[in-house]
Chain A
Amino acid sequence: MSTDVAAVAEQAEQAPGKPPKQPLADRESFLAKVFLLPSIVYILALVGVPFFLAIGFSFSDISSGDPSFDWAGFRNYRAIFADDTFWRSLTNTLIFTVVSMVLVVVLGKVLANILVADFRGKWLVRLAVLLPWTTPVALSTISWLWLLDSVFSPIDWVMRQVGFLGPGENVYWLGKPGLAMASVIAVHVWRLVPLAAVIVMAGLVAIPSDINDAAKMDGAGFWRRMFGVTVPLTMPVVAVAGLFGAILTFTDMAVVYVLTRGGPTNSTQVLASWAYFKGIQGGDVAQGAAVALFLFPLLLAAAVAILRAVRRMETL
């Protein structure tokens, strides 16, 4: 001990005003940079570069036939603003996102209550609840494609047996505009609800049991405990879950692509799928980029809202 002190004192004398040199692995300023590097590289390569590329493309005339960059100014934006399909897609995207999220949050909360409840055979219920989330989206959506088939839909078959449909009649789940949108939303909600339920469940479990007991002692019944205590306390977590869901929904085209390809007559077309059809399949990369960029402001707003919700959680 005393020799250590002497050694340090000696070192201090040798280099007045200069701290003794630390090994590299002990220097936080160095380690911070090294550990941050992979995520910075990752974000720059896979998010930053494509983002600025898209901005560049949207002001060009690049297409898959002619990949040379020529300045086109706002021509692409003028073209998509004049296109009814764009406005249709934008509206559909908003409807798709808002309706899905409301349903996901409400159903997620209900499922979370089931997940935390204690009853016989709860593991079976938990498994069933989590299954949609663990199934790959393309796979599960193809199952839905069959379930909603215009002729061979098992749902229609059941309805015919029960008597809701006459013999030979079909609902055409994906064939009528309103119904197609409802089907797309239903499948998407089915897929996202388990995730929301698990996130809300984490929020529920984090509430100290004393608080729930205190509310019981204070004379609060089930609904008052739910809306007076549980919901406000899980609100920040639910907000984060909802906003994450909104981002996932906003940029998602898997369900739309597999079920309807945007049809019938663009009635389920969303921005992501429209950008894909225009830019990749149609070959007009420049216009596709311009369409896709319209996702950005809304995503940014959602991201800011998430950060605010997290901030509120910290101060609670």
Chain B
Amino acid sequence: MADVVEVRDLRKLFDGGKGGKKVHAIDGVDLATEPGEYLVLLGPSGCGKTTLLRTIAGLEQPDSGDVLIGGHEVTGLPPRARKIAMVFQSYALYPHKTVLNNITFPLRAAKLPADKQRERVKWASELLGIEHLLQRRPRQLSGGERQRVALARALVREPRVFLLDEPLSNLDAKLRASARDELKRFQQRVGTTTVYVTHDQAEAMGLGDRIAVMHGGKLRQLGKPVEVYDDPADTFVATFIGSPPMNLVPREAHLVGFRPEHLLPIENVSAADRVTMPFHIERVEYLSGDRHVYGTVKGIGEETRVIARLPSTIDTPISSDEIHEFAVRADKLRFFDADSGERCDPVPL
């Protein structure tokens, strides 16, 4: 049975440099994983996600609040007492040790008998397909191989929880896609609860069972990828997730939001339930089969620059400097309070 990680009202202050001002790196976060879940902490740099991960690991001590692993409070305990493993952004392999000794290191620290050590190393290196690399040193490995060694070192102790800190950010774009897939399959196989930190929303959407979106030290939204995408809790989540981001049109005390793929030429939206708007097209980009259309809309609020994404199945001829009638299905519209940015009830248009 996989363990659950939970944090309760966690706060962490850092010195803010000049004037001795304190900065909230984590500002009252409540969060709990499901057993065996793949939870992704997503946010821009400086949002506190890595600090949160390091606090769960025990590398940072919170100023207040509790960390629980498997239902036990571990707040004051050092990392080694928490039975968790972490993979670092840099992988942090020991450069002076061979791959074999890197993987064995946690087992030695745990004072496992030698035959048990060999057994575990064999199991972990076979699972990750690195048996042929055991005698090499980290600098003789490619980025992908290093990642696998770092995973093996994390795995070999059979930890209760995996913590991964942006493990894909050091890989080139091509390798990243395959490494992402590998990570996901690996986690499904071992079934260990995993907390994964990233600033890359594509990674988060692809990997996470649930996504926790963080901003300014606070948890903005926690939900399945489809939930944070379709029903963002506030304008930060709405614009941080999705590429291109959600369009937001100011209308009196509210913002009207809709995803670029929902803004379509009028003939593609059923007449029964649509909101139409004239779209003054400025520019069209052709990106991997889709057309991204840039321009301004009027009619539903203030005149605002928006982006529409037309899939290749729509072949309405469109060119710049035209005004086209576009529409959005009414149930695809999301409404936010203009001041707080929070979601609010629909307003009649």
Asked whether any CB of chain B lies closer than 8 Å to the CB of A122, the reply is no
A199-220 contact mask (Cβ, 8 Å, vs B): 1 or 0: 0000000001011011111111
Asked whether any CB of chain B lies closer than 8 Å to the CB of A176, the reply is no
User: What residues of A have a CB within 8 angstroms of the CB of B229 in the complex?
Assistant: none
Partner of A220, one of B90, B96, B109: B109
- Min CB–CB distance B20 → chain A (angstroms): 15
Of residues 162 to 221 in A, which have CB atoms within 8 Å of B's CB atoms?
208, 210-211, 213-221
The number of chain B residues with a CB under 8 A from chain A is 26
Q: How far is the CA of A224 from the CA of B92 in the complex (A)?
A: 17
- Min CB–CB distance B93 → chain A (angstroms): 8
Of residues 70 to 94 in B, which have CB atoms within 8 Å of A's CB atoms?
78-80, 84-86, 88-90, 92-94
User: What residues of B have a CB within 8 angstroms of the CB of A216 in the complex?
Assistant: 58-59, 78-80
Instruction: Check B80 against A208 for contact (C-beta < 8 Å).
Output: no
Given contacts A208-B92, A216-B58, A217-B79, 17 further A-B pairs with CB under 8 A are A210-B90, A213-B54, A213-B79, A213-B92, A214-B93, A215-B105, A216-B79, A216-B80, A217-B80, A217-B86, A218-B106, A219-B80, A219-B106, A220-B80, A229-B94, A233-B94, A316-B139
Asked whether any CB of chain A lies closer than 8 Å to the CB of B57, the reply is yes
In the complex, the number of residue pairs spanning A and B with C-beta atoms less than 8 Å apart equals 66
Instruction: Check B90 against A208 for contact (C-beta < 8 Å).
Output: yes
Asked whether any CB of chain A lies closer than 8 Å to the CB of B309, the reply is no
Instruction: Check A224 against B109 for contact (C-beta < 8 Å).
Output: yes
Q: How far is the CA of A208 from the CA of B89 in the complex (A)?
A: 12
Asked whether any CB of chain B lies closer than 8 Å to the CB of A282, the reply is no
B89-112 contact mask (Cβ, 8 Å, vs A): 1 or 0: 110111110000000011011100
Instruction: Check A210 against B88 for contact (C-beta < 8 Å).
Output: yes
- Min CB–CB distance B10 → chain A (angstroms): 19
- Min CB–CB distance B319 → chain A (angstroms): 34
Instruction: Check A218 against B153 for contact (C-beta < 8 Å).
Output: yes
Asked whether any CB of chain B lies closer than 8 Å to the CB of A50, the reply is no
Asked whether any CB of chain B lies closer than 8 Å to the CB of A73, the reply is no
- Min CB–CB distance A232 → chain B (angstroms): 5
Binding site for B on A (CB under 8 A): 208, 210-211, 213-221, 224, 228-229, 232-233, 316
Of residues 121 to 160 in B, which have CB atoms within 8 Å of A's CB atoms?
139, 153, 157
| A213-B59, A216-B59 given; A233·B95 CB < 8 A | yes
User: What residues of A have a CB within 8 angstroms of the CB of B157 in the complex?
Assistant: 218-219
Q: Which residue of A lies closest to B106 (CB)?
A: A218
Instruction: Check B92 against A228 for contact (C-beta < 8 Å).
Output: no
| A219-B106, A219-B157 given; A214·B80 CB < 8 A | no
User: What residues of A have a CB within 8 angstroms of the CB of B59 in the complex?
Assistant: 213, 216-217
Partner of B92, one of A210, A219, A221, A316: A210
Instruction: Check B80 against A221 for contact (C-beta < 8 Å).
Output: yes
Instruction: Check B105 against A211 for contact (C-beta < 8 Å).
Output: no
Instruction: Check B88 against A221 for contact (C-beta < 8 Å).
Output: no
Q: How far is the CA of A230 from the CA of B94 in the complex (A)?
A: 10
Q: How far is the CA of A220 from the CA of B157 in the complex (A)?
A: 12
- Min CB–CB distance B124 → chain A (angstroms): 13
User: What residues of B have a CB within 8 angstroms of the CB of A233 in the complex?
Assistant: 94-96
- Min CB–CB distance B90 → chain A (angstroms): 5
- Min CB–CB distance A128 → chain B (angstroms): 26
Instruction: Check A214 against B95 for contact (C-beta < 8 Å).
Output: no
User: What residues of A have a CB within 8 angstroms of the CB of B90 in the complex?
Assistant: 208, 210
Q: How far is the CA of A235 from the CA of B335 in the complex (A)?
A: 62
Q: How far is the CA of A125 from the CA of B24 in the complex (A)?
A: 32
| A219-B157, A220-B109, A228-B105 given; A214·B96 CB < 8 A | no
- Min CB–CB distance B60 → chain A (angstroms): 10
Partner of B96, one of A213, A221, A316: A316
Q: Which residue of B lies closest to A221 (CB)?
A: B80
User: What residues of B have a CB within 8 angstroms of the CB of A215 in the complex?
Assistant: 94, 105
- Can you give 6 A-B contacts (C-beta < 8 A)? A215-B105, A216-B58, A218-B85, A219-B157, A220-B105, A316-B96
User: What residues of B have a CB within 8 angstroms of the CB of A229 in the complex?
Assistant: 94
Instruction: Check B109 against A219 for contact (C-beta < 8 Å).
Output: yes
User: What residues of B have a CB within 8 angstroms of the CB of A210 in the complex?
Assistant: 88-90, 92
- Min CB–CB distance A27 → chain B (angstroms): 36
Closest 10 CB pairs of A and B: A214-B92, A210-B92, A218-B106, A219-B80, A219-B109, A217-B86, A216-B79, A220-B109, A232-B96, A210-B88
- Min CB–CB distance A208 → chain B (angstroms): 6
User: What residues of B have a CB within 8 angstroms of the CB of A220 in the complex?
Assistant: 80, 105-106, 109
User: What residues of B have a CB within 8 angstroms of the CB of A211 in the complex?
Assistant: 92, 94-95
